[in-house]
Chains A and B, each alone.
Chain A
Amino acid sequence: MLTDLQTLDDGASLKAPICIFGAGAAGITLALELEKQNIPCLLLEGGGLTFQEESQNIYKGEVIGDQNTDIAYSRLREFGGTTGHWTGQCLPLDPIDFEKREALPYSGWPITRADLDPFYERAQPYLQLGPFAYAPSDWNLEGPKLPLNPEKVAFGIFQYSPPTRFGETYRAPIETSKTIQCYYHANLTDLVIDEAGQITGAEVQTFGGKTMSVSADRFVIAAGGIENARLLLNFTKQRPAGIGNQHDLVGRYFMDHMNCKLGTFLPADPAINLSRYLAQIVDGTPLRVNLRLPAEVIEKQGLRNNALLLEPVWQSESHNDEFRDHSWLAFSSIAKSLAHGNPPDQFPSKLCTILDQPSSVAVGISRHLMREVVPHGELQSVFFKQDAEQAPNPDSRVTLEDATDRFGMKRAVLDWRITEDDLLSLRKTHELIGVAIGEAGLGRVKLGLGLPPNDDDIYTGYHHIGTTRMHDDPKQGVVDADCRVHSTKNLYIAGSSVFTTEGTANPTLTITALAIRLADHLGREAGDGQRHVGRNDAGQNQAGGDR
């Protein structure tokens, strides 16, 4: 069932065993998994079925840290959430990403990669991916291998989702569901918590001024990496510091990926065959091979994780993509929507973006046409493109400003910090790959970061991670291994905000896997008839976990 909350009477009550706030990748997956267990749930989305400025406006806030990011439009506040404009690149976190590493401050998840593997496997179909296979040996890849020393350079696989737009792909299953009551324009404005830490109810409001109450046995906030923290920090009526924030952790440890095209490989032989490392479709699955350092090298050198893609620069500029900017992306988005027979969302905004910089659209169109007739010529160089890991940092954070949104909720302030150690780690990673390339006689590598390094060319990956981090110890994490907020009995968080570290993987696959895992956990709880399961604030396991 899919209904506009505005159509209900003011003061109406909503009730279900489980209530999920946020209908993005995490919330929709969670609801669909609960449906498989025949557990009714409420799925409440603040935005509409498509982009609406009055909803998106809620996301406006201030950016006070690194300025190469965005808080207002990098995420989408609508049914389907940010999957409405994600690029679809997927990779699971590596086993080393879950481990406590001496050189990575605040690292160490309370779960392992092996714990998550069965859920990764189940997450693949949600994102319309191939099998859960991320090693090059899993695939019959085209093109020769680069003769790099396997002790120095490893390879992995990125899989590519179409990308799945959850708002389109899962709209019909939710509309026809007998167990999912999905309401849009349902903006969460308060959670009521009792002395014992039990969430006893919630308040939601519509843009039309109606207020409804919600009751459930268990509540899940699945509103995104920044919004999850903003909501918890705003709920100060019974908890002055915000719910789950008794140790001043909510909003801290904000991480993004250091998205950059830095580092250049100058091949000795311009005729080198790199086809294995470019986009290809194998057995119907779009994928691409990435280069990375082996886990042993990362551990020994004390580095952050990184998986880099090779981006060739060809002699004929018609085959190069450096023209791609916001203007081109806006044009491309409109063109894709029209090609699929859908009206483009945010059309006025995208049209104005194109008009601001029409030349890149003209260049892009002409180059795409030229590619059909002009050969790419000799290889000039190869860029390293990556979403590099940064370490968890308590000073990198989401806080609140005094300005409020239309519901009286304080807006978010994003203070994204990139440390010198983050940058030095990326530089060292490129240096070690350069050594391996030199050893193989393939050419030379020029580092993209100098000394001291600066972050001018580092951009957001639009990945908002870590603000309600998972840790066994309530003094070091907001949620426990079951994603339950430590200081509550029945409030859970879904999404990338629970990641303890971010690795180098785009987060959507892990978000989906964790949502499935949470659904299983909630299903067991419901089946057991337990009011609350998890760990108390002393970190003691009360009734077992999912590990």
Chain B
Amino acid sequence: MSKVTRRAFIGLAGVATVAVVGYGGAMLACRGVPRHNPDFFAGLDDEPLRQAAQEVGRRVLAEYPELVEDRALKSFLAARPRLAEAATVSCPDTRRRLVQDQCGADFAAGEARVLDGWVMSETELRLCGMAAKYA
């Protein structure tokens, strides 16, 4: 096993510094993103939220199956560029904001339904429906 040379150590430290500064910079940038929106269904990579979304999604599949039909989903996603953008960003707060902006736009357009008594946007219903359908 070769020795860790001084040059290798400095190189590793430099890479680590760049990574830390990059991550820190991204975190700082995310601080500027408004966070007053609801957290619902925007962090589906979070396991407890994913499970919650799937539970909601199972109800969506039962009550509003038409929202989660493959053909409907394709046109739904095509008409919502914020969701496509959300899929490409790594910052969770930015992603959350994009999803919530889309939910807000749904409400503004009257694209809302009642599920188990909750007044919800079609976007969140479809996202939950997908989480359940493709679990």
Q: Which of the residues B36, B110, B120 comes within 8 Å of A444, measured between beta carbons?
A: B120
The residue in chain A whose Cβ has the minimal distance to the Cβ of B37 is A441
Q: Mark B83-116, 1 if CB is under 8 A from A, else 0.
A: 0000000000000000010011011101010100
Is B48 close to A, CB under 8 A?
no
| CB pair B38 A149 closer than 8 Å | no
| CB pair B38 A443 closer than 8 Å | yes
SS of B interface (majority) = mixed
The residue in chain B whose Cβ has the minimal distance to the Cβ of A432 is B119
CA gap between A436 and B112 in the complex, in Å: 10
Is B54 close to A, CB under 8 A?
no
Q: Which of the residues B40, B107, B118 comes within 8 Å of A439, measured between beta carbons?
A: B107
| CB pair B118 A446 closer than 8 Å | yes
CA gap between A444 and B38 in the complex, in Å: 8
The residue in chain A whose Cβ has the minimal distance to the Cβ of B113 is A431
The residue in chain B whose Cβ has the minimal distance to the Cβ of A434 is B119
The residue in chain A whose Cβ has the minimal distance to the Cβ of B121 is A438
Chain A interface size, under 10 / 10 to 19 / 20 to 34 / 35 or more: 20 to 34
Q: Which of the residues A436, A447, A448, A450 comes within 8 Å of B107, measured between beta carbons?
A: A436
* Chain A residues in 8 Å Cβ range of B106: 438
Residues of B in contact (CB 8 Å), total 19
| CB pair B39 A446 closer than 8 Å | no
The residue in chain B whose Cβ has the minimal distance to the Cβ of A267 is B38
The residue in chain B whose Cβ has the minimal distance to the Cβ of A269 is B36
Q: Which of the residues B39, B117, B119 comes within 8 Å of A438, measured between beta carbons?
A: B119
Q: Mark B18-43, 1 if CB is under 8 A from A, else 0.
A: 00000000000000000011111000
CA gap between A435 and B40 in the complex, in Å: 15
Is A440 close to B, CB under 8 A?
yes
| CB pair A444 B104 closer than 8 Å | no
CB distance from A36 to the nearest CB of B (A): 52
| CB pair B39 A268 closer than 8 Å | yes
| CB pair A445 B104 closer than 8 Å | no
CB distance from A263 to the nearest CB of B (A): 9
* Chain B residues in 8 Å Cβ range of A431: 112, 114, 119
Q: Which of the residues B39, B103, B117, B121 comes within 8 Å of A447, measured between beta carbons?
A: B117
A-B contact pairs, 11 of them (CB 8 A): A149-B108, A268-B38, A431-B112, A434-B119, A435-B107, A441-B36, A441-B38, A443-B38, A444-B40, A446-B118, A447-B117
Question: Which B residues have a C-beta under 8 Å from some C-beta of A?
Answer: 36-40, 100, 103-104, 106-108, 110, 112, 114, 117-121
Kindly list 7 other residue pairs between chains A and B, CB separation below 8 angstroms, not including A430-B119, A444-B38: A268-B37, A435-B107, A438-B119, A444-B40, A444-B119, A445-B119, A448-B117
